[in-house]
Structure 1
Amino acid sequence: MNNEQFRLEAVALSDPGRMRAVNEDTAAVDAEFGFAIVADGMGGHNAGNIASRIAVDTLRERLPVKIQHFRAGARQPRPHQFAEQLIGEANRAIYTTALSHSDCQGMGTTLALWLLHGRHAALLHIGDSRIYRLRSGQLQQLTRDDSLLRDQVESGLISAAEAATSHNRHFVTRALGQSLQAAVHIHEEEVRAGDVYLLCSDGLTDMVGDSDIELIVDLLKTNLELAAQHLIQLANDHGGTDNISVALVRVLGADTAKPGLFSRLLGWLKH
């Protein structure tokens, strides 16, 4: 994406992990239009991959049109508003597909969406797929998991240590496709040149601690493809019990030069 504020570098990778035959995650990025998406499907007879694909395809196909209108001066609706509307369309498509196909009954998906507009980013999410930001070497989780475990920890029913080994760790309390209406969390923040945003499914965060994620993303932020590969490899090395999806977006100043020969060579040597 090129405008007067920022240029973006972005990559998305998804891996089935070591224990699952089907990858029910879907991930996508679009640096030109400034968005990244991760969805983690669930339910039905492996129909989670259908749910996550519907969600991501709906956004990937419809967002560029809305963004073009916004950039052309159509200031209403705002980006977080039209993004929420499109997520609502995806939710209804998943829900009605599940009703009309017996092998898709009960399917749903989490969703994390990052959308740049001007000097701000809209963050929309539902479920336990997360959005992180690396700024000045510090990784911060920007989303709150919609999960039974998080609710139990916050209410004091169990400790964080108990939550780490709980059998309820994958029970989400909100997801797309569960009803005709979906309550999506929406947050906006100002972005800065140098920020790196990470969107991921719980296949990463269940296997890799935040401190290790921070180390890898900070060390390899100039080579997002390599950073994503290392994150997925580490999750697999730690067991790979679930599908693993990663989307990384690096925010650069519009006048930031593209990596030179030395930087590309350094990335190749790290690989």
Structure 2
Amino acid sequence: MNTANRSDIGRIRMVNEDRSWVGFLDHGVTLAIVADGMGGHQAGDVASQLAVDAFRDALTELPADLSTEQAKLLIRQAILQANEVVYDVASQNEQYHNMGTTVVAVLLQEKCVVIGHIGDSRAYKIRDGLISQLTEDHTLVNELAKNGQISPEEAATHPRRNVLTRALGTDPQVEVDVRALPWKSGDMLLLCSDGLSNMISEEEMLGTLQSEDLNLDGKADRLVELALQAGGDDNITVVLLQDDSEAEQEG
């Protein structure tokens, strides 16, 4: 599995509240997570780091014959464990009151990818020249758009598009969206914070990710640069995962 992991503070923010991690476990399993923290007095970066650490700690060992249903259960449990950790720290420390974070995480096996998410950090899949968004934003604006109260074009530029309807760590209980999808050689996954998805279009993403002049690290760098060129209004985090079995066979 080829991976690239990039994060940039952007042009406006004083602190990078995004955190990300990619890890490789036994039995060919790849894990990845992006978390975009929120809260005053630098609580956002505390929340996102706690979430990433708790997620990673929850999935240190996996069974060799992990089924898709087991994988879905495990990623849900890991995210719920992270919610408990962040909520507990926020409850016990006044300076972290109401801190929280988005999270989008994947558990990737040879033929299946399982995605869990809360908030508006996104996962995209790139296959056969097409890009598809795999997660649905838990935002006020997305709810308005789904109900037909505003158009997709209005949603893209709505002044309250960053208002979340669901976040990790702000409540003792939270609902995690989990889904499983088939995975095949040549597929690519993009995980990102809204500092990327709010600044560049899916067409720009796809154009970069299909570039034959860039390796995976170069593609991640280019995506960050495009978001910076578009204004860099927020922290920008990009994780790319691509099955490299084809390249190995060719070599």
Q: Same fold (TM over 0.5)?
A: yes
Q: Percent identity?
A: 38
Please state if 1:190 is matched with 2:182. yes
Letter in 1 for 2:248: A
Q: What number of residue pairs does the alignment pair up?
A: 248
Q: Which residue of structure 2 lines up, in the alignment, with residue 22 of structure 1? A: 15
Please state if 1:51 is matched with 2:47. yes
Give the 3 Å change call, closer, same or farther, for CA 113–159 of structure 1 in structure 2: same
Out of 34, 37, 47, which is 1:38 matched to? 34
- CA shift, 1:228, in A, is 0.6
Aligned mates of 1:193, 1:210 — CA distance in 2: 22
The TM-score, its normalising length taken from structure 1, stands at 0.86
- Confirm or deny: 8 A CA contact 1:55 1:91 kept in the other structure: yes
Letter in 2 for 1:181: Q
Out of 5, 28, 33, which is 1:12 matched to? 5
The one-character-per-residue Cα deviations of 1:96-139 (angstroms, maximum 9, x if unpaired) are 11111111011000000111134111111110000000001111
1:120-159 correspondence runs (5 A):
120-159=112-151
Root mean square deviation, CA, Å: 1.9
Letter in 2 for 1:125: H
Q: Which residue of structure 2 lines up, in the alignment, with residue 233 of structure 1? A: 225
Structure 2, unaligned runs of 5 or more: none
Give the 3 Å change call, closer, same or farther, for CA 258–98 of structure 1 in structure 2: farther
The TM-score, its normalising length taken from structure 2, stands at 0.93
- Confirm or deny: 8 A CA contact 2:68 2:180 kept in the other structure: no
Letter in 1 for 2:136: R
Letter in 2 for 1:113: A
Aligned mates of 2:226, 2:66 — CA distance in 1: 44
- CA shift, 1:256, in A, is 3.9
Give the 3 Å change call, closer, same or farther, for CA 134–77 of structure 1 in structure 2: closer
- Determine helix, strand or coil for the equivalent of 2:231: coil
- CA shift, 1:60, in A, is 2.1
Bigger mean CA offset, 53-62 vs 193-202: 53-62
The one-character-per-residue Cα deviations of 1:72-113 (angstroms, maximum 9, x if unpaired) are x47697111111111111101100111111110110000001
Aligned mates of 1:98, 1:49 — CA distance in 2: 12
Aligned mates of 1:74, 1:143 — CA distance in 2: 23
Larger Rg: 1
Letter in 1 for 2:15: V
Q: Which residue of structure 2 lines up, in the alignment, with residue 5 of structure 1? A: none
1:242-261 correspondence runs (5 A):
242-253=234-245, 256-257=247-248
Aligned mates of 2:33, 2:249 — CA distance in 1: 24
The one-character-per-residue Cα deviations of 1:133-171 (angstroms, maximum 9, x if unpaired) are 000111111111001001001111112222222211100
Aligned mates of 1:190, 1:76 — CA distance in 2: 10
The one-character-per-residue Cα deviations of 1:216-254 (angstroms, maximum 9, x if unpaired) are 01115961111110000110011000000000000133x
Aligned mates of 2:24, 2:196 — CA distance in 1: 23
